[in-house]
Amino acid sequence: MTQAVSPRSRKVRVLATLGPASNSPEMIERLFDAGADAFRVNMSHGDQESKVPVIQAIRMLEKTRGRPTTILADLQGPKLRVGKFAEGKVLLETGSEFVLDRDATPGDATRVQLPHREIFEAAHADARLLLDDGKMVLRLLSASPDRLVTRVEVGGYLSNSKGLNVPDMVLPLAALTEKDRSDLAFAVDQNVDWIALSFVQRPEDLMEARRLIGGKAALLAKIEKPSAITRLEEIVEQCDGVMVARGDLGVELPPQSVPPLQKRIVETARRLGRPVIVATQMLESMIESPSPTRAEVSDVATAVYDGADAIMLSAESAAGKWPIESVTMMDSIADAVERDPAHGDRVHFTVTKPDPTTADALAESAKNIACTVSAAAIVCFTSSGSTARRIARERPTVPILVLTPRLETARRAGLLWGTHAVNTRDVGSFEEMVAKAKRMALRHNLAGAGDRIIVTAGVPFGTPGSTNVLHVVTIVGDELKNYEGREA
């Protein structure tokens, strides 16, 4: 890293999706300057070759700006679609019967092919089938191994290869397709930091992805299926982070169900100590407009008040007309909310009880002591990042400076609430720990002369998962004059 940079003033992270409107090195740099802390690479669009220069541009930005920068690769997951029609498009009349079958013959207004064996296996009477992002609704009357007879409850025009959602079924379908396996291998080879898994229905869906990742990236579960809600806590326990994928949730569930589910998912992730991202349609109107609606501003603010670790832009930054303005707006909303005197109380509405471990006890104590003695920052020495996650879960009122000898740990911390990660050499003694904590807090503008900082670490040093030290340090005036030029 070439220089020390100051941390963001806000604690919630901003995750920006890259796409045609923002893939160039110049735009990525401008997004970073506007407030983007992490970047999402959507594997659903474009080929793998087109992603290589994008990832390289982020890594170059990381070097020039001196801050470990997070890359999340988002896998497409299975896509359920109907077949094709002889005329390209048909009108489904409300109240009529419509058949989905295994016959590849082009369809008409009475039937069409459904090329997904798994749906026939899981189908049951009275289940709903949603077409074209929920614009049309079919109700299943009867099912056999090669024929589903439905009644059209909400009609409309249906054209070739439109998407299908089955909210009332748990499909015997793996979350990883062949494309996903290839994309996952590519993402690991490119050293991305997080891999997001789509179409998670059950905790078992995460096992193959975890095995294929092999510890080389963190695994994030996208909660977008109603079936995932029924086993939410088990899923959260099996992953490293969670995304509230509200777009698909809003298709498969009534729109009014999504806000309380969002709060439930955020609360569960926070309670279990997993970073949680709120995503999809947050500033949707800014795809076309330079300013958001008041309702969208309120939506973003709600996620910040709920204590989400990160808030995400999708098409707004990837393909919209105003990508820089979208990130700037997200940044300014989050900053304004966090300056609200009531923000701290609202964030701590979720109770995060520590596990009966030394590390959890110290994380909670660090938060409480920082508040009691009005500390300027918490400095966390960590190898695996687990201590940083524990402290971030507590949502302290002060910034968390994460010092780690592992660059991958520093990069993954980019989705953690309130953290500023630095890749630096490890310490070997208690005295070195104290001196380095002071020096780095000063260098990154988190503390000044007379300030107290809270330091957490594990002894023996360099042993992952051994956090057992909490120390309160006061920075004296002479140290302010002498820290510059010292080795990181």
Closest CA to 242 of 261, 215, 222: 222
> Residue 470 carries which side chain, given as an amino acid letter?
L
The pLDDT score that the predictor gives to residue 331 is 98
Evaluate whether 95 touches 108 at the Cβ level (below 8 Å): no
| CA geometry: angle 281, 282, 288, nearest 5 deg | 70
The pLDDT score that the predictor gives to residue 51 is 98
- Rounded to whole angstroms, the Cα distance separating 437 from 457 reads 10
The pLDDT score that the predictor gives to residue 485 is 46
**Can you give 302-320 as a three-state secondary structure string?**
HHHHCCCCEEEECHHHHCC
Pick the CATH number of 89-165 from 3.40.50.980, 3.30.420.480, 2.40.33.10, 1.10.3720.10: 2.40.33.10
The pLDDT score that the predictor gives to residue 6 is 72
Mapping DSSP to helix (H, G, I), strand (E, B) and coil, where does residue 205 land? helix
- Rounded to whole angstroms, the Cα distance separating 258 from 264 reads 10
Q: Where are the domains of the chain?
A: 13-77+175-340, 89-165, 358-482
Mapping DSSP to helix (H, G, I), strand (E, B) and coil, where does residue 109 land? coil
Question: Taking the CB of residue 75, how many other CB atoms lie within 10 A of it?
Answer: 25
The pLDDT score that the predictor gives to residue 9 is 87
From residue 94, give the alpha-carbon distance in Å to each of 75, 86, 154. 35, 21, 5
Going by C-beta distance under 8 Å and a sequence separation of 6 or more, which residues neighbour residue 292?
283, 285, 286, 329
From residue 320, give the alpha-carbon distance in Å to each of 21, 118, 132, 323, 450. 6, 36, 22, 6, 47
* b/e sequence 3-37, b meaning 16+ C-beta within 10 Å: eeeebbebbbbbbbbbbebbbeeebbbbbbebbbb
**What is the dotted CATH code of the domain comprising 358-482?**
3.40.1380.20
Fold of 13-77+175-340: TIM Barrel (3.20.20)
What predicted TM-score, i.e. pTM, was given to this entire model?
A: 0.91
* b/e sequence 285-303, b meaning 16+ C-beta within 10 Å: bbbeeeebeeebbebbbbb
Closest CA to 167 of 121, 201, 204: 201
The pLDDT score that the predictor gives to residue 12 is 98
Q: Which stretches in the chain have pLDDT values below 70?
A: 1-5, 462, 465, 477-488
Q: How many CA atoms lie within 13 A of 397 on its CB side?
A: 17
Residues classed as catalytic: 40, 81, 222, 280
From residue 436, give the alpha-carbon distance in Å to each of 391, 422, 431, 441, 488. 19, 12, 9, 8, 8
Strand 136-144 and strand 128-131: pairing?
Answer: antiparallel
Q: What residue has token string 């947050």?
A: 282
What's the distance, Cα to Cα, between the start and end of the chain in Å? 10
- Rounded to whole angstroms, the Cα distance separating 465 from 123 reads 46
Closest CA to 299 of 266, 343, 262: 262
